[in-house]
Structure 1
Amino acid sequence: MIQWQMLVDDLWNGEKSICFFVHSGKYFWVVDDKFNFSLDAEKDYQAYLDKGHITQEQYALACMSFRDGVLKLTADSFLKYLRAEQRQVLSQQDLKDIFVCGLDLSESLHGKVEGYYLSGTELGAKDFGEANTVASRLPMFYVNFDRKVYMHMDYGRAHEDLVYSDWFAKCSDFCHLVPDREKYWVLGGMDCWKYRFLQST
């Protein structure tokens, strides 16, 4: 049995994130460092170079080594990106196992979260902490190469600035774009997507 504790710790710490990719009519769940979900990393490195933060030599080296040589993530380079050792492509069962790893996702907690939204009933520190742990295991990025759509929920970071000019890109909720059968965060009728909004309510 695969042990997921290290991965869920990385998700909690913000070192890793989950992205839902659509490519040639197929979808892929991928865990990676969140900066690897930027599409055009060259824009970032060019900005560092223009501001004098890095030298021309550092710029060239960074462009060659970033994301195992996939500087620009496109429909053509996506499969090469997936083949790198550091990528974790997850199955539906993997996602379910990760989601519940070490948690007691009870109706009691869910009822408290819903009570918080309905009537403003305060969550205790323990409940709030558990709800945020659940939220850390939700996808943060959505990349659809077929429709040229890029969305993320990494608030405070302008990932949309590193998207190609003919793409639609926005920092916004993308839950509606994920097929219902892929929503691993819906358990026994409990939709845990709402947990991610607790801190911003």
Structure 2
Amino acid sequence: MFQPPQYQENDLKTLQQFIQQHNFATLMSYNSTHERIEADHLPFLFDPKQGLYGTLTAHIAKENPLYTHIKHGQSVLISFQGDQHYISPHWYPSKKQHQRTVPTWNYMVVHVRGYLRCIDDKKSLLALLGRLTRQHESTQAMPWKMKDAPAEYINALLNDIAVISIDIESMTGQFKTSQDRPQEDKISVAKALKNTAPHMSQHIQQHTD
């Protein structure tokens, strides 16, 4: 993606935290059979301790074309998107001074590149599903567990899905959060986004002098 220097986010811990918080992402791969780019939307688990930048895992249906055209070590791009929002010139106090303002769009995104592997064994699949379940059920008053469903039902479903694993080779962050605006404009934008884009609002406040 095009990256103006002022919007680049290069801190590794910040990028890792971002993809953990916004783990539903778009995986883009090349389908050599049909000679086109494919996009799959998946919830990922991130393990920062594996490899230089970490490892991502997810599961897909075996009916998904991704499963049939995957090759060991295929290069893929995964896009993690956080808060994004239209920014009105009316939010800028500086507009009253000179009128030299136009609308724009703020957004927070991290791109991950890596190599894709497919894992078909049930042990790995069960472990992944267990971690996904615990992660997403942790906010529930009565968390659902896999053992709540009949074992034969779970086993039947396992036959239809596979684990994909991505060894991350690079992370690229772009947080366009009004960095080019005067101090008073940043504060005003942060207030305007407090309810509709809270993560972005917080990020602007943290990076306001």
TM-score range with shorter-chain normalisation?
under 0.3
| Structure holding more helix per residue | 1
**Structure number with larger C-alpha Rg:** 2
- TM-score in terms of structure 1 length: 0.25
* Structure with the largest fraction of strand: 2
